[in-house]
Amino acid sequence: MVDTPYGAVRGRYERGVAVFRGIPYAAPPFGPRRFRPPEPPEPWDGVRDAGSFGPTAPKPPYSEAFAHYLSDPVVPGDDCLNLNVWTPEPGPAARLPVLVWLHGGALTRGSSAVPVYDGHAFARDGVVLVSLNYRLGVEGYGLFPDAPANPGLRDQLAALRWVHASIAAFGGDPDRITLAGQSAGAISIGALIAAPQAQGLVRRAVLQSGPPEAAERDKVRRMVRRLATRLKIPATAEAFAAVDRDLLLRTQAEVGRLSSPVLGGPAFGIVVDGDLVPRDPLEALTEGDAARDVDLLLGWTRDEYRLWLVPGGLMDHVDRLGPVALAGAMARCHCGHEVPRGYRALHPEARTAEIVGQLVTDHLLRRPLHRLADARPGSSYVYEFAWPSSLPDLGACHALELGFVFDTGDVPESRKLAGEGGPRELCDVMHGAWVRFAATGDPGWQSWDDSRPVRILGDGAPYTAHGPRDRELALWTADGAHESVPVGGAPPARGTELASAVRRLRRTMRARLH
């Protein structure tokens, strides 16, 4: 039993560590609180049982194509702003390092209840692991004229404040908090460590497969307007709050199929709001003084894009589209023909889909993470996860590394991506690096400097490569802005023609992922 600021909670001992699940860090975000910043939970009398995961935030299910690879359990209920704690030694005397986990899922899916994220191994190895739920989709990242922006990010900040104030009672050290996340979770971390309101709450940060970024406000507004048009309501928080929740989720799922990581499109995202996010997070972290004392561990997988293109057979279709797919990728990446031509010259045997995928991966992930590391030499560590899944065509895809990070490769949900036979040695290396980083700020290899060291974690022993992506990244200009023209003799795809090509590819991807 542990006392929190709002009441006592009772956990369970499981395999030698104490586990507390479903602890509320904020009040249920519905009724008059819907689309509003989080508020403290109501205190409770007696002892609250913390034996089960709390409700998950409202979210649509993954499409069948993605559900084949990704698990996303649903726990019903309104009290979805909750968190979980795994600790080897409850009590204020322990002062152990703390790792706070933010799940991914494109800010529309995911939860702390995904079995891959079980925190037992971290607690076993001396790190208090905290995972949490936050509002998703239009509930968490819709942009309305009558409600504050970024309520999902505000949820995460509220949870982080709860951890800072409460974790000592669970055996954690509030001065050694590492904020870690993957994909949308990592993007959220970039915004949080750059936020003035979060300064002093985090000592270290792990950004896996997600850079600091702010979405275009108009892009988010278009997503809300499309939802409003289908629902035949005004694009206001007041109108959305009156819509049946299940209908809203179904509509969100349908509208969301128009966007993709590869070709963009309207989507939910963190926006500059003049308050919690006063400026673009990447600019704040690279050009300003935000979080200068925060150590960084930055990583990606070698073949991120394969999780975006393999489901639904999209790899083969992108190959068939050829120049149309390349035109769409150039529009997505704001680059000219010389960039994909350079990739083709460097990788002459690569398929069109592989060129498209690497272009988008470098634009979305590697270039901004390199920029962040360049701004923080000496306190940044960079790695690439390069072990390929045993399942066909997935390679070292997005999210594959998570079973290795959490040492949960044996659970069925990890095997949906990894297949059978993930190497135990790689799990020890990957999980061990995160544990060491949370404890000491040093994952066990050379920090970033002018030689651009990247730790490669794949088959065989880990090794350090210096500038392994430099040839590709050198093809981009500093700002990445070029005239968008096609590759290799294809007729110019400008103006409406380019837009038509991009729409055609988006429609095809949407149909195949339905």
Query: Per-residue confidence at 503, pLDDT binned at 50, 70, 90?
Result: low
CA quadruple 57, 102, 63, 327: dihedral sign: positive
Q: Which of 103, 131, 304, 484 is catalytic?
A: 304
Sheet arrangement for strand 47-49: 2-4, 7-10, 47-49
Largest CA distance in the chain: 74
**How far is it, in rounded angstroms, from Cα 137 to Cα 405?**
26
pLDDT at 244 over 50: yes
What DSSP string describes 230-243? HHTS-SSHHHHHTS
Q: Residues of the chain with pLDDT > 70: what percent?
A: 93
Which residues pair with residue 9 across a beta bridge?
A: 2, 48
Query: What's the Cα-to-Cα distance from 400 to each of 86, 104, 323, 493, rounded to whole Å?
Result: 23, 12, 30, 35
What was the pLDDT predicted at 499? Answer: 58
Which tens digits make up the pLDDT trace of 334-385?
999 999 999 999 999 999 999 999 999 999 999 999 999 999 999 999 999 9
Quick check: helix, strand or coil at residue 346? helix
The residue type found at 249 is L
- Which of 173, 171, 168, 161 shows the shortest CA–CA distance to 199? 161
105, pLDDT greater than 70: yes
In angstroms, rounded to a whole number, what is the distance separating the alpha carbons of residues 392 and 471?
A: 28
Instruction: Let me know: does 212 contact 279? Beta carbons within 8 Å.
Output: no
Q: Where are the domains of the chain?
A: 2-513
- As beta bridge partners, residue 300 has 384
- Tokens describing residue 223: 């997503």
Share of the chain above pLDDT 90, in %: 87
First-to-last alpha carbon distance for the chain, in angstroms, is: 46
Q: Per-residue pLDDT tens for 295-320?
A: 999 999 999 999 999 998 989 999 99
**Span 54-78, average pLDDT:** 96
The label of the residue with tokens 């290795």 reads 404
Digit-coded pLDDT (tens) for 465-494: 999 999 999 999 734 444 333 333 333 334
**Which residue, chain included where needed, has tokens 């403290």?**
40
Report the distance separating Cα 187 and Cα 397, nearest Å: 18
Greater pLDDT, 495 or 197: 197
Check residue 288 and give its pLDDT: 87
Is 431 in the active site? no
pLDDT classification of 257: cutoffs 50, 70, 90: confident
Q: C-alpha distances in angstroms, 492 versus 164, 326, 327, 457?
A: 55, 12, 9, 41
User: How do residues 131-174 score in pLDDT, each as one tens digit?
Assistant: 999 999 999 999 999 999 999 999 999 999 999 999 999 999 99
| Measured CA distances, 213 to 279, 359, 372, 427 (Å) | 10, 18, 11, 30
The per-residue pLDDT for 45 is 97
**Residue of 111, 112, 131, 183 marked catalytic:** 183
**Structure tokens of 460?**
């065989």
Place of tokens 């970033």: 448
Confidence of residue 104 (pLDDT cuts 50, 70, 90): very high
Query: Cβ atoms within 10 A of the Cβ of 423, count?
Result: 14
Nearest 5°: the CA angle 321, 397, 482 is 50
H helical segments located in 352-494 = 352-361, 367-375, 402-405, 412-418, 424-440, 470-473
The pLDDT of residue 182 is above 70: yes
Strand (E) or helix (H) holding 285: helix 281-287
Please give the Cα distance from 219 to 416 (Å, whole number).
32
Chain centre to alpha carbon of residue 193 = 15
Amino acid at 375: A
What pLDDT shows up at residue 504? 62
Residue 497 has pLDDT above 60, yes or no: no
Q: Is 370 a catalytic residue?
A: no
Angle at 428 between CA 424 and CA 434, to 5 degrees: 145
380 is catalytic: no
CATH number of 2-513: 3.40.50.1820
Of 166, 398, 472, 484, catalytic: 398
Burial tier of 410 (Cβ tally within 10 Å: 0-12, 13-18, 19+): exposed
